Amino acid sequence: MTSELLEKIGLTKGEIKVYTALIKCGSTTVGALIKESGMHRSAVYFCLDSLIKKGLVGYVVKNDRKYFEANRPESLFDYLEARKKEIENQEKEMKTYIPALFARKQLHSDKKAQEAKIYEGWKGVLNAYFDILEPMKAGEEAYAFSPTEGYGGANPERVRRLITKVRLERARKKVRLKMLMSENLKRTLGKDQEGTPYTEVRYTSEDTMNPAVVHIYGNSVLTVLWSETPVAFLIRSEGVAESYRNYFRLLWENGRSGINRKLS
C-alpha cells in the first residue's frame, strides 16, 4: 500500500507515517513509533488520536503501558464508507445554502433597482404573498420550493388556510406555478396544490429549502419562515430572482411529477 493512496483517501502525511510504522512494527509503544516514524512525541500522539477516531488504530494496556496497533485492513473500507456518508450529508447541506450564496452574490453585483422588505405575523405574511402576486399577468410562470419537513412551530391548518387564499387568487389571475415539495407533504399541501388550476407539482425526497418556503414571482423572491409568529423576507431584484430560477430548474429536473392541471 503506497503513501499516495492513503493520502488520496484523506489521511495526512503525519497520519500516514504513524499508520505505516504500525503496519511495520505491529503492536508497539509510542517510543518505538517515535523512533520508526522520525516524528516528535507530540505529533505522534496527535496522529494516533486522529487515527483512533477514524477507526484505523486501536490499543491495549499491558502493565500500565499502552500498546498501539493498526486495526484489521478492512477498517480502511469502513473509513471510506464513513467518508462517503459525510460527503453526502455535506452535499445536502450545500443544497440548502446555494440559493443564499447566489442571492448574496447577485445583491452585490446587480446594478438595477433593488428592494428588501420584512413582513411579520399572519396578516403580514398574507400581504407579502399578495404583494408578489399583484404584478403578475395571466400566463406568466412562478416557481416555489416548499418546506421539507413541515411548518416549524406554526399551526399546519392555519398555514393551509392562508396558502389556500393565495393559490385561489393565483388561479383566478391565471398565473402558472411550478412547485417542488417534499414527498412528506404530498397528502397535505401537495394535495391542495395538485387540485389547483395552472399548477404543476413535483416531489423530491431530498432537502430543498427546509424549513423555509421560497417563491419566485417575476423579479421578486419571497422567503417565508413558518413559526408561531411567521416571518417573510421579500427581495425585489432581477439578478437574485434569476439566480433562484436557475437553481429551481436544476432541482426540478430531478423531481417526480405529481398532477398538472391547467384551465383551457
Q: Which of 1, 15, 7, 10 is nearest to 48 (CA)?
A: 15
Say which amino acid occupies 183: E
**Rounded to 5°, angle at Cα 217 from 213 and 221:** 50
Give domain status of residue 109, yes or no: yes
The pLDDT of residue 195 is 78
Based on the fold, state whether residues 65 and 137 are members of the same structural domain: no
The pLDDT of residue 48 is 92
The pLDDT of residue 260 is 46
The pLDDT of residue 51 is 92
User: What spatial distance separates the first Cα and last Cα of the chain, rounded to whole Å?
Assistant: 67
The CATH number covering residue 48 comes to 1.10.10.10
Give domain status of residue 78, yes or no: no
Question: Parallel, antiparallel, or unpaired: how do β-strands 176-182 and 141-145 relate?
Answer: parallel
Q: Cβ contacts of residue 237 below 8 Å, gap of 6+?
A: 106, 107, 110, 112, 114, 115, 219, 221
11: enclosing H helix or E strand: none
Give domain status of residue 57, yes or no: yes
The pLDDT of residue 263 is 40
Give domain status of residue 197, yes or no: yes
246: enclosing H helix or E strand: helix 238-252
The pLDDT of residue 88 is 80
Give the integer Cα–Cα distance in Å for 155 and 140: 31
The pLDDT of residue 261 is 43
Q: Which of 210, 187, 209 is nearest to 258 (CA)?
A: 187
Each residue's pLDDT expressed in tens, for the chain with a length of 264 residues = 577 888 888 888 999 999 999 988 888 999 989 998 889 999 999 999 999 988 999 988 888 889 999 888 888 888 888 888 888 877 766 665 666 666 565 555 555 547 888 999 999 999 999 999 999 999 999 999 875 555 556 788 888 899 899 989 999 999 999 988 877 777 777 777 787 889 898 887 765 445 578 999 999 999 998 888 888 999 998 888 998 999 888 888 776 555 444 443
Give domain status of residue 83, yes or no: no
> What range does the domain containing 25 cover?
3-71
Question: Parallel, antiparallel, or unpaired: how do β-strands 65-70 and 57-62 relate?
Answer: antiparallel
Q: Please, are residues 136 and 177 in contact by the beta-carbon 8 Å criterion?
A: no
The CATH number covering residue 162 comes to 3.30.870.10
pTM recorded for the entire structure: 0.54
Say which amino acid occupies 71: N
Interaxial angle between packed helices 41-53 and 30-37, expressed in degrees from 0 to 180 and rounded to the nearest 10: 110
Based on the fold, state whether residues 64 and 160 are members of the same structural domain: no
The pLDDT of residue 90 is 76
The pLDDT of residue 72 is 87
The pLDDT of residue 1 is 52
